Amino acid sequence: MSIQVFGLPVSRGVAIGRAVLVASSRVDVAHYFVPASQTRREIDRLRRARDAVAAELSALQRDLPTEAPPELSALLDVHLMLLHDDALAEAIMHWILERHYNAEWALSAQLEVVARQFDEMEDEYLRGRKADMEQVTERLLRALARDGMPSLSSVAQPARDFAGEDPLVLVANDIAPADMLQFKRSVFTGFVTDVGGKTSHTAIVARSMDIPAVVGAREASRLIRQDDWVVIDGDSGVVVVNPSPIVLEEYRFRQRQSELERARLNRLRHTPALTLDGENVELLANIELPSDAQAAVDAGAVGVGLFRTEFLFMNRGGVLPSEEEQFEAYRSVVQTMAGLPVTIRTVDIGADKPLERMSPQELRHEHSLNPALGLRAIRWSLAEPAMFRQQIRAILRASAYGKIKLLLPMVVHLREIRQTMELIKRARQQLLDKGHSIGDVEVGAMIEVPAAVMMLPAFFRHFDFVSIGTNDLIQYTLAIDRADEQVAHLYDPWHPAVLKLIADTIACAQQYGKGVSVCGEMAGDPAFTELLLGMGLRSFSMHPAQIAGIKQRVLRADTRKLQSAVEHTLQADDPQNFWAAACDRVEDTVEIALPY
C-alpha cells in the first residue's frame, strides 16, 4: 500500500530508492559500511559479543540468591534463548554479508525488523517479549563497544558495489553530525529524518551533499520499513512510500528534468559573477573537510568563505587532532585553492556538535539544558586554551602557503576579543621564534547574535572583516531552536527584525571600510539573492552545489533598481510579500544567454 509522509523540504530534487533504516537506540550505534574482505571480521566481533553476553547472563543466573523469584531465572533463560537463536543470528549476518553493514548497524537493523513483528502480534504476552529483545540487543551493543571498533579509516569505504543495483535512501529518527560525515560520500541518494528543521545540522549537510532530503517527518522511521521503495521530494517535503507505477514514473521524469537543469547551470561555472550594472560579486564556498576544497574549485568558487574546522575533531573517539595534523589539513585546502583566499573558522563545538571526548556528565549537560546558550564556539575554545593555541598555530603556519583569513565564531564580548587577540599574538611570536614563515592573516568575527550587530563599531576596532551567520542570527533573534521541528514554522528569515539586523551589519561594514559576507543558508537560497544584493552585499559563501544557481540570479540582477525596493521592504510589516510585489514592479525580465 502506498502512503505519503510530510515533512520539511531542506534540499531540492527528487531521490528514488530502497529504504535503509537507521534504528534509534538508547546505546550509541556506529553506522558504516565495511568492504567484503572485512565482513568476516565483523561476524567474529558479533560472535565474541554474543559469547560475552551469554557468559554474563549465565553468571547472573548462577549467582541468583535463593530468595529470588523464579520469574527472574525464567527471564534470564528467555534472554539466553534469544542470544542463541539461529534464525536471528542468520538474519543479522545477512545485513553484514549482503549489505556490508558493520556489526552494530546490522544488529540494530534486525532489531527494527523484529520489533515491528512483535508490535503486530495479537497476543499481549508475545507483544511484551519485544522488551526482552531490546534488552538483549543493548547488551550486545555494549559488548561490541567493549570489544572495540575498527578504525573508521580502515573500514568506512562506501562503494556502489555495496548497494547492488538498486539506489538507496536513508531513513532515521535523526542523524548525528558524526554519522553525516560518514555518509557524506556513501551510496545514499537522499534521506529522511523524523526530527530537525530547515537549518538543523542534518539539513545543512544534506545541501552540502547536494542530495534531496526531508526532515521533521515525525513518524517516517516508524512507517517506513527496510527495503520499501521510497520517493523523496525535496522540493515539496513529501515522502512517498511504495509509490504506484504512475507516480513513480512521474517522479523519474522530474529527476531527469532536474539533471538537465543542473547540467545547464554547470556551464556557468567559469563565467564571472557580474550584475547587469557591472557590480562584481564574490561567490565563495563553504566546506567541512579538506577533501571538499576540490568541489569548490570545480564549482567555480573564487575562494573558501567558510571552512568549518570542527569536523576535523569528530569521529575520532575523543582524541583531538594534533597541531601537525591540523596544519596539514589547512595547508591541503590552501594549496588546492591555488592562491584563492581561504577563510578558516576556529572550532565551533557545542550545541548540536558535541565532541566524543566530553564526559557523560558534560553530554547530559549538553542535552538537558539549552546547549545553544551554553559553552560553545569561542567560549569553548577559550575554556580550552591549550587546544585553541594549537589550532591558531596550525592556521598561522598554513598561511605561509596561501591567503588565509581567520574567523572567530559567536563573538559577543570585547573581553573575548582581547583574550583571542592575545592568544593569536603569542602564537605568532612562538612560531616566529622557531623560524616558521607566516603570511599576513586577516582576523574576522562571525555575526550570529543581535548583540554582535549592536557592538559592530567596537568590533571594527579589532577585526578586518565580518561574516554573517544567518542560521544562528535568526535563531537567537527569534528565540527559536532551529533544530526543533515543533517550532520550525516560526523560524523565519523574512522576519523584519532579522532583515534589519543583516542590512545594518552590511551598512556598518561599508561605513568602516571593512569586508562583509554572508555564509549562512540565506547566501545559497535564490529567494534572497536580489534582496542581499540590494542591501549592498557583494560576497556570498555557500555550498559548492549552490554556486551555479546563485550565479544565474546575480547575472540577471540590476543592483541600481534593487536598492530602492530594499529600502521600502525593510519598512514593511510583511517583507516577503512586499519584496515579491516590488520586484515585479521594478525588475525587467532578463534572459541571459548560457554558453552551450
Is 596 within a domain?
A: no
Do 447 and 484 lie in one domain? The reply is: yes
Which residues make Cβ contacts (< 8 Å) with residue 287, sequence separation at least 6? 293, 295, 296, 304, 306, 307, 308, 333, 544
Do 88 and 212 lie in one domain? The reply is: no
Domain count, the chain: 3
Is 380 within a domain?
A: yes
Do 377 and 503 lie in one domain? The reply is: yes
Task: Point out the catalytic residue in the list 31, 79, 100, 519.
Answer: 519
Between CA 552 and CA 592 the distance in angstroms is 8
Between CA 218 and CA 196 the distance in angstroms is 9
pLDDT tens digits, 53-107? 888 888 877 877 666 666 667 778 888 888 888 888 999 999 999 889 999 889 9
| Full residue range of the structural domain in which residue 133 is found | 36-153
| pTM exceeds cut of 0.95 | no
Do 220 and 336 lie in one domain? The reply is: no
Which residues fall in the annotated binding site for phosphoenolpyruvate?
308, 345, 471-472, 482
* Residue 543 is among the residues annotated as catalytic for this protein: no
pLDDT tens digits, 433-451? 999 999 999 999 999 999 9
Domain-ending residue, one of 263, 297, 331: 263
Between CA 137 and CA 152 the distance in angstroms is 22
Between CA 411 and CA 446 the distance in angstroms is 7
Average pLDDT of the residues of the chain: 85
Q: How much of the chain exceeds pLDDT 70, in percent?
A: 84
Long-range contacts from 557-561, C-beta under 8 angstroms, 24+ separation: 557/275, 557/276, 557/529, 557/530, 557/533, 558/275, 558/276, 558/277, 558/587, 558/588, 559/275, 559/277, 559/279, 559/533, 559/534, 560/277, 561/586, 561/587
- Exposed (0-12), middle (13-18) or buried (19+): which is 152, by Cβ within 10 Å? middle
Which residues fall in the annotated binding site?
308, 345, 448, 471-472, 482
Is 174 within a domain?
A: yes
Do 19 and 107 lie in one domain? The reply is: no
Do 133 and 211 lie in one domain? The reply is: no
CATH number at residue 170: 3.50.30.10
Do 178 and 43 lie in one domain? The reply is: no
Do 144 and 256 lie in one domain? The reply is: no
Is 544 within a domain?
A: yes
Is 553 within a domain?
A: yes
Do 137 and 163 lie in one domain? The reply is: no
Least confident of 64-68, 298-302, 344-348, 553-557: 64-68
Between CA 359 and CA 366 the distance in angstroms is 10
SS3 450: helix
pLDDT of residue 209: 72
Confidence of residue 378 (pLDDT cuts 50, 70, 90): very high
pLDDT tens digits, 259-291? 888 888 888 988 999 999 999 999 999 998 899
Which residues fall in the annotated binding site for Mg(2+)?
448, 472
Between CA 333 and CA 290 the distance in angstroms is 5
Is 28 within a domain?
A: no
Domain-ending residue, one of 117, 138, 153: 153
CB 505 within 8 Å of CB 447: yes
Task: Point out the catalytic residue in the list 31, 201, 508, 543.
Answer: 201
* Residue 583 is among the residues annotated as catalytic for this protein: no
Do 383 and 256 lie in one domain? The reply is: no
State the angle between helix axes of 39-62 and 86-99 in degrees (0 to 180), rounded to the nearest 10. 150
